[in-house]
Amino acid sequence: MTDSLVPEWMKQIKRQEDQKAAEDEADKLRSALATRIIQSEGPVFWKQLIKELQITVDSLPHIGLKGTVSDIGSEIEEGYQVSVVRSTLYPDSRYINLFYKPGSNMVRMHPQEGGSGNLVFGMVDEDQLRLWYEARPMTPEKAAAAIVEPIAMRLKGR
């Protein structure tokens, strides 16, 4: 049957189906690219996050606190414990453990108090790797702040 004999409503359905198929294919390609970027750039992002955590912890004396970033990794996955300490008449401390398997799409968080959670790798503008937490994309610097600040505020009584 020639195209001129096909009713217009059928042509419209066919165009919509073709467009949907093209969009689905483009989504699959974007997803595959994002997966490759996460696998290749995730370890670099993780190392930068650890550096930013160290910078943040080294700055804690400015607000009367101390802290450490300690390697607690294993052969299976990399891990760090971020500890924050208040050394006053009423000393107190809190920590959070962070774990990452190179190539994984997430960083697992296990705080001393409260429930565990994940920071999930995702893309911004199809070419910028970020960690997502509570629907917010974060650079390594912002992720370090999001990890340490709540602990520090709790110890400061805020």
Query: pLDDT tens digit string along 70-87?
Result: 999 999 999 999 999 998
Asked whether residue 62 is assigned to any structural domain, the reply reads yes
Distance CA 99, CA 114 (A): 17
Q: Which residue has the tokens 């970027």?
A: 37
Asked whether residue 98 is assigned to any structural domain, the reply reads yes
Evaluate if residue 126 carries a pLDDT over 80. Answer: no
Distance CA 67, CA 107 (A): 21
Q: How many domains does the chain have?
A: 1
Tens digit of pLDDT for each residue in 5-36?
A: 888 999 899 899 989 988 888 778 877 777 88
Asked whether residue 2 is assigned to any structural domain, the reply reads no
* Residue 138: per-residue pLDDT: 95
Domain that holds residue 98: 41-155
Q: How far is CA 120 from CA 117, 128, 133, 135, in A?
A: 10, 14, 7, 10
For residue 148, which amino acid is it? V
Asked whether residue 21 is assigned to any structural domain, the reply reads no
66 beta partners: 85
120 beta partners: 106, 132
Distance CA 104, CA 93 (A): 30
Three-state SS for 145?
helix
